[in-house]
Chains A and B, each alone.
Chain A
Amino acid sequence: MIRFLVKRVLLTVPTFVALIFLVFVAIRLVPGDPVEVRVGEHGIAPERLALLRHELGLDLPVWRQFLGYVWQLAHGDFGRSLSTSNPVLGEFLTLFPATLELAACAMFIAVLVGIPLGVFAAVKRGSVFDQGLMGLSVTGYSMPIFWWGLLLIMLLAERWHLVPVGGRLDLIRFDYDAPTGFMLIDSLLSDEPGAFLDALRHLALPAFVLGTIPLAVIARMTRSSMLEVLSEDYVRTARAKGLSPFRVVGLHALRNALIPVVTVIGLQTGTLLAGAVLTETIFSWPGVGKWLIDAISRRDYPSLQGGIILISALVILVNLGVDLLYGAINPRILHGR
């Protein structure tokens, strides 16, 4: 078990090196550097431009910039933002709880709704429910997030006033400290009546929009995985034991069907964080997604690089966790290694 863990962790090192390199190069392929963007259309004297570039180290060859950045990272230093001069790590950590809260709730909805729907569709295969659900899931999967989000804002927020249009909290009504950065937790800690409900109302729509694609994928995956498992001999054995259908399907079949579903959940975390960028922009959600978009338009190299690397690290970690989960779900996998 420990050997397996060490092996998996060591395997992530080359992934990280490749990742840093890709991010570093890709950003520099975008036309215009931070200085040009800041100077604007009017331009300044070429000598002044050269001086500014020199100050930021942008006049060095790219490979030297890269080595310098890796050296810096190796010392745990993500650099400072070019637009605010604050440490990148600090800015990221301040905004990240908002994104994590949104993404976690989105995944929570996707798993909690997607798995039961998939199981039910598999049990009732070929029925109207099954066909309807699979049709919906294709729609959900191919729905562009920004459009889906705008659509729901128009309907639920603008027309029916069920939920707020954006933001994390009604800042006019509530004002309290946010020690954890997670609005749901902070609102509970604040003792302000109604704060938790208000936070929940703000969170509901963006979380649902962000969770739509993972929900569709998880439902489909659960269904096909369950269909396969339901025809296995051990499911027949479970039924021959006279167990209730709920136990046969929900325990004996589902536990075996979960492996591919958990894999998909891990992979969807990446999609989710990418989707968070769009969702946060639409719902003016003050998280790292919106922060990254701003960093792109300012060509804020350190913020962009740092943000992407930190998010990727999270995705890699989640998938490592998924690998460990396999063994917990199905012991045969652990012993096979």
Chain B
Amino acid sequence: MSLLDIRNLRVRFATRGGTFTAVDGVDLSVDPREIVAVVGESGSGKSVAMLAVMGLLPWTATVEADVLSFDGTDLRALSKAARRRIVGRDIAMIFQEPMTSLNPCFTVGFQIREMLRAHTGLDRAARQRRAVELLAKVGIPEPERRLKSYPHQMSGGMSQRVMIAMAISCDPKLLIADEPTTALDVTIQAQILDLLKALQRDTGMGLVLITHDMGVVAEVADRVLVQYAGRPVETNTAQALFADRHHPYTEALLAALPERSTARRLPAIPGVVPGQFDRPPACVFEPRCAFAFRQCREAAPTPAAPELGRALCHIPLVGGVPTPVRAEAHRPRDGVPA
């Protein structure tokens, strides 16, 4: 049985300009001991989907799903208090900005011990011992002394280590890491990633890694979910995905990796993720797609077969070439390679 099971998740925000659907029909399942990467540009709804799992969205958001269960418990049926007992203890989350994610008014030790106090029956002395142990585990030297530090006395990498220590303090079954390395120096990024990988291996927890960096995905993920404008556009094992991409967006994301570039200019995906008011009516990726044709502007695509990565595309790519399997009137756009 999978640890986290999400089917057809929809998150809507009530805004002044009307309803905005930030997440639209996302399916995701995470097994114990599995690392799943959720990939997409900023604004593709990756964080929102995970915050919905955590129950951390603001009151303007409505969360709906056919299935939203964790470890056999239906999260939608839980009372707020019951949900708080799971959040933090069984599902923990770390965030993109470690420097601002810790409370500047309290020592690191206080913030870690507070987590233990909320979810475990440890007494004061045991909490202190456990906090020291946790800091040592995430690779912070002189843990006793560091526990007395305030967040502003630490670097970004150090803060993220503290966040990780706090997140794993109650031995969670699932850790959600929301772009944990984005705000850090490149050298630190690799260290944090290695730490997460090692912790995941040692504890056997499931790990959801939200990222926009295909390099990170290649390094750690077992499975990948590619999300675009709130929709799941492709999902596959990491191995299969890196062997062959079936959705033009995934292909473009991978082509945008600097180390893959052979041209003088870095390749980029033209345009930006559509927002509330410029969502295309049919295929959401159509305006930026190199392979788009008439049908893409007229009908919303349905997911392809599992062996094609459930690509949300009329003409899923195979070997970088569109396969007009379901396209009745396939006429490529001018100047597009066939």
Q: Is the pairing of A and B real?
A: yes
**Interchain CB contact under 8 A, B84 and A244:** yes
Residues of A within 8 A of B84 (CB): 242-244
Residues of A within 8 A of B88 (CB): 240-243
On whether A240 and B92 interact (CB within 8 A), knowing A332-B104, A332-B150, the answer reads yes
**Interchain CB contact under 8 A, B102 and A234:** yes
Selected from B102, B150, B153, the residue in CB contact (under 8 A) with A237 is B102
**Interchain CB contact under 8 A, A237 and B152:** no
Residues of A within 8 A of B153 (CB): 335
Expressed in whole angstroms, the Cα–Cα distance for A243 and B92 within the complex equals 12
Q: Which residue of A lies closest to B103 (CB)?
A: A234
Q: Is B1 an interface residue (CB 8 A)?
A: no
Min CB gap A308→B, angstroms: 38
Q: Which of B93-101, B246-254, B272-280, B318-326 lines the interface with chain A?
A: B93-101
**Interchain CB contact under 8 A, B114 and A241:** yes
**Interchain CB contact under 8 A, A242 and B86:** yes
Expressed in whole angstroms, the Cα–Cα distance for A54 and B208 within the complex equals 90
Residues of B within 8 A of A329 (CB): 105
Residues of B within 8 A of A232 (CB): 100
Number of A-B contacts (CB under 8 A): 70
Q: Is A8 an interface residue (CB 8 A)?
A: no
Q: Is B119 an interface residue (CB 8 A)?
A: yes
Residues of A within 8 A of B119 (CB): 242
Q: How many residues of B contact A (CB 8 A)?
A: 28
Min CB gap A226→B, angstroms: 14
Q: Which residue of B lies closest to A239 (CB)?
A: B56
Expressed in whole angstroms, the Cα–Cα distance for A329 and B56 within the complex equals 27
Selected from A236, A239, A244, A256, the residue in CB contact (under 8 A) with B104 is A256
Residues of B within 8 A of A331 (CB): 104-105, 150, 152
**Interchain CB contact under 8 A, A243 and B150:** no
Residues of B within 8 A of A256 (CB): 103-105
Q: Which of B61-107 contact A (CB under 8 A)?
A: 84-89, 92-93, 95, 97, 100-106
Min CB gap A228→B, angstroms: 13
Q: Which residue of B lies closest to A232 (CB)?
A: B100
**Interchain CB contact under 8 A, A243 and B104:** no
Min CB gap B306→A, angstroms: 33
Q: Is B118 an interface residue (CB 8 A)?
A: yes
Expressed in whole angstroms, the Cα–Cα distance for A234 and B105 within the complex equals 10
Min CB gap A131→B, angstroms: 17
- A234-256 interface mask toward B, CB cutoff 8 Å, 1 = contact, 0 = none? 10111111111000000010011
Residues of A within 8 A of B152 (CB): 331-332, 335
Q: Is A139 an interface residue (CB 8 A)?
A: no
Min CB gap B95→A, angstroms: 6
**Interchain CB contact under 8 A, B150 and A242:** no
Residues of B within 8 A of A47 (CB): none
On whether A243 and B56 interact (CB within 8 A), knowing A236-B95, A237-B102, A256-B105, the answer reads no
Q: Is A86 an interface residue (CB 8 A)?
A: no
Expressed in whole angstroms, the Cα–Cα distance for A233 and B102 within the complex equals 8
Q: How large is the interface on A (under 10, 10 to 19, 20 to 34, 35 or more residues)?
A: 20 to 34
Selected from B89, B97, B103, the residue in CB contact (under 8 A) with A238 is B103
Expressed in whole angstroms, the Cα–Cα distance for A335 and B88 within the complex equals 31
Residues of A within 8 A of B106 (CB): 252, 255
Expressed in whole angstroms, the Cα–Cα distance for A331 and B150 within the complex equals 8
Expressed in whole angstroms, the Cα–Cα distance for A238 and B152 within the complex equals 17
Q: Which residue of A lies closest to B104 (CB)?
A: A332
Residues of A within 8 A of B163 (CB): 237
Q: Is A330 an interface residue (CB 8 A)?
A: yes
**Interchain CB contact under 8 A, B56 and A240:** yes
Residues of A within 8 A of B102 (CB): 234, 237
Min CB gap A113→B, angstroms: 24
Residues of B within 8 A of A335 (CB): 150, 152-153
Selected from A233, A234, A243, A255, the residue in CB contact (under 8 A) with B114 is A243
Min CB gap A127→B, angstroms: 11
Expressed in whole angstroms, the Cα–Cα distance for A252 and B89 within the complex equals 19
Min CB gap B328→A, angstroms: 48
On whether A242 and B93 interact (CB within 8 A), knowing A234-B101, A256-B103, A332-B152, the answer reads no
Q: Which of A239-289 contact B (CB under 8 A)?
A: 239-244, 252, 255-256
Residues of B within 8 A of A233 (CB): 95, 97, 100-101
Q: Is B220 an interface residue (CB 8 A)?
A: no
A-B contact pairs, 26 of them (CB 8 A): A232-B100, A233-B95, A234-B100, A234-B102, A236-B101, A237-B95, A237-B101, A238-B103, A240-B54, A240-B56, A240-B95, A241-B88, A241-B118, A242-B85, A242-B89, A242-B118, A242-B119, A244-B84, A252-B105, A256-B105, A331-B104, A331-B105, A331-B152, A332-B150, A332-B152, A335-B152
Mark B residues whose CB is within 8 Å of A: 54, 56, 84-89, 92-93, 95, 97, 100-106, 114-115, 118-119, 150, 152-153, 163, 166
The 6 closest A-B pairs by CB, nearest first: A242-B88, A233-B100, A234-B103, A242-B87, A242-B84, A241-B88
Given A240-B54, A240-B92, A330-B105, 6 other A-B residues pairs in contact with their CB atoms under 8 A: A234-B100, A238-B103, A240-B88, A241-B87, A242-B88, A255-B103
Mark A residues whose CB is within 8 Å of B: 232-234, 236-244, 252, 255-256, 329-332, 335
